[in-house]
Amino acid sequence: MPKLMISLAQMNIALGDVRKNTAQMEKWTVEAARRGSHMVVFPELWSTGYALDQSKELASTLNTGTFNDMSGAAVGNKISVVGSLLEKRGMEVSNSAAFFAPNGRSLGIYRKLHLFRLMDEHKWLQPGSSPLAMDLPWGNTGLAICYDLRFPELFRRYAVEGAKMIIIPAEWPIERIEHWRALLIARAIENQCYIVACNSAGQTGDAIFGGNSMIVDPWGKVVVSGGESPNLLTAEIEMDAVDEIRKRIPIFEDRRTDIY
């Protein structure tokens, strides 16, 4: 599958309003499929936003609630659906990104490794314990969530293990949007892979999120970028570009693993 069509669902998330957000997810999944997309990516915590004080009430266990809604949207529209949700695990809650294939099957759950203290995640959520890379029709694909972007070690691990794409759902505030843009491009260049990043946009509760969802190619070129308003972005990418660029500048062969 050398060519891949991707939609980024740059939502304005309604704080704690699962029903309203789910209706938006379903609507944009239908539209992404109509555009011929193979995959649609939603932001971090797309069904709730940072209503973490209600996390136990709003979270779903796997195969129920909003996870089922994502699976149903995938099946109903024959499209892969990705996004992060509050996941209930026993007495704990995680910030978990799920990847659903067009047949509705979950191909993996990635639980956010780095919890963001500025949004009190560490007070309410349990951190994940492992990365997640999936073998997909277009190549090895890793998952990360928002604040993970500031930890290049995770992205390098994915790349060294063969990732051609890393998907990042996020709720990145507008006051740090320059960091978001610069880090997305840096991660693409240094790992010579596609970065597919979907941020939320507009006000959710007391916070304003900055949009600027992006697909960045392995050369660091921005394929598509959203502004600061809610929007469904769609672009086609060429997966063969990853191998071409890795051959052009073979950085992985020149790493000094004897030293670092």
Q: What residues are annotated to the active site?
A: 44, 112, 146
**Cα 142 from chain centroid (whole Å):** 9
d(C-alpha 183, C-alpha 189), whole Å: 10
In the numeric block, the tokens 């691990």 are attached to: 157
Between helices 152-160 and 177-191, what is the axis angle to 10°? Answer: 30
Residue 133: phi, psi to the nearest 5? -120, 140
Answer yes or no: are the C-beta atoms of 66 and 33 closer than 8 Å.
Answer: no
Phi first, then psi, for residue 248 (nearest 5°) are -65, -45
Phi, psi (degrees; rounded to nearest 5) at 12: -95, 110
Structure tokens at 182: 């610069």
CA angle 183, 117, 196 (to 5 degrees): 30
Query: Three-class SS of residue 175?
Result: helix
81/199 Cα distance (integer angstroms)? 15
Query: In whole angstroms, what is the distance from residue 70 CA to residue 99 CA?
Result: 9
Parallel/antiparallel/unpaired status of strands 165-170 and 139-143: parallel
Query: First vs last Cα of the chain: how many Å apart?
Result: 35
